Structure 1
Amino acid sequence: TNITIKVVCDTMLDSTLPDPFSRIVKVNDILMAVYNQSCLDAGYQSMISQLSKTSWNDSASEGGRQWTYQTCVEFGFFQSSNSTMQPFGNNFPASFFVKQCADIFGATFSADLLTNGIAFTNSYYGGEMFQGSRVLFINGAIDPWHALSFTSSPPNNNSFIFMSTTAHCADMYPDSDSDPQELTDARKKISSTIGEWLQ
């Protein structure tokens, strides 16, 4: 099962479920089934403990720790509650994530380290003056990460695809009969573009 925005929204709007709480429970059930879990441990300290593990034999080695590290020292694009244009209150401001970085990786991880790391990342990779070639920027409007990408006219004759009905990594999911047409079209464009580059 692909856990797409549509799957989550359809579940949250399912009028056969009696109330919003029952619907979020159903979303959680779907997630746990996909990840073969029987219990959701949502405790902060459990998450910190898991992401602090460095053994190759631990599930943190599957990418969660590495991604968190990159976010803490290179990207800093946290999905926080700082904006007033969201329904979740102010329970997880950007400072929460900076603290999380320090709790996982040590006290040297601070807002200053992150600010300097982001500046270095943008300088090293070009930021808005990106100079790479043969890059296809693929974004979905529902994905908060699209704000960090090119959604029109990337520099250096690179290409982009911007889909209004998809989110993070939708183009990498297996094809489905329920895919929006623009996603099907995007996959075709990705294939043909890469095919041209390889000739």
Structure 2
Amino acid sequence: MIFPNIGYLSAWFRVKYPHLVDGAVATSAPIFAQLNFKEYLQVVVSSLATTGPGCNKNIKMATDTITKMISTDTGRKSVEKMFNLCDPLDTSQYVDGSNLFSNLAGNFEGVVQYNKDNRAFEGAIGTNITIDTICGIMTDESNGSPVERYAKVNSLMLSTYSQKCLDNSYNKMIKGLQATAWNASASEGDLGDVQPFGNFFNLKFSIQQYLSAESPAIYIQGTAHCANMYPGTSDDLPQLVQARAIIEKLIGTWISSN
């Protein structure tokens, strides 16, 4: 049973070497690689909307306000202070502005992705911050304007993860990605998609051949990223409990049949 970044590798390994592997549970694994994975943010938006329409509405208003603010020197300085940026915001460098918006969106993406999962048992930080937490901030008028609420969410995330400031520098981000150490980030190989042999034997060619009653794709409505991989709790949704039971039964079937 493997988590997402190498989960798809476990699935492919099972397909390629069925004589070596009885089965593979690839939880939340991105089996089909996409260059423009727009569905990710669609899920984020839908998840935030479960608290009501106000959360996404106020995020949109905050984003629009920041867009206007960074068009002037005074506005940029206000954004730098409000969001505690590590470096001055240089909007002449389009990528720095893009990185800022990406980082601010990331505050919400991460919470949605791990919402109410059971990582606390392994000492994970921030498990108490849920969709209800951040949307509660975004819809609470006592927190000020929408952009001030957006900044409060950012401050919460910085504090939770012991970050002194929000690093919006594109160049710093690239330098980090250029690290040559052979670690987890270097070994994922998510972007290794350039090859000279054509695209007729694409991702769908093999994977769709292997979906069956004994190797189903299980969608667990209302749960977080990799939720079925963590120990159960009394607060687990019925569909999560059911999914774990199905997976356990499948693993038993795979093992007993080999």
For the superposition of Structure 1 and Structure 2, which TM-score range results when normalised by the shorter chain?
A: 0.3 to 0.5
TM-score, normalisation: structure 1: 0.48
Which one has a larger percent helix, Structure 1 or Structure 2? 2
TM-score, normalisation: structure 2: 0.39
Structure number with the bigger relative contact order (C-alpha 8 A, sep ≥ 6) is 2
**Larger CA Rg, structure 1 vs 2:** 2
Which one has a larger percent strand, Structure 1 or Structure 2? 1
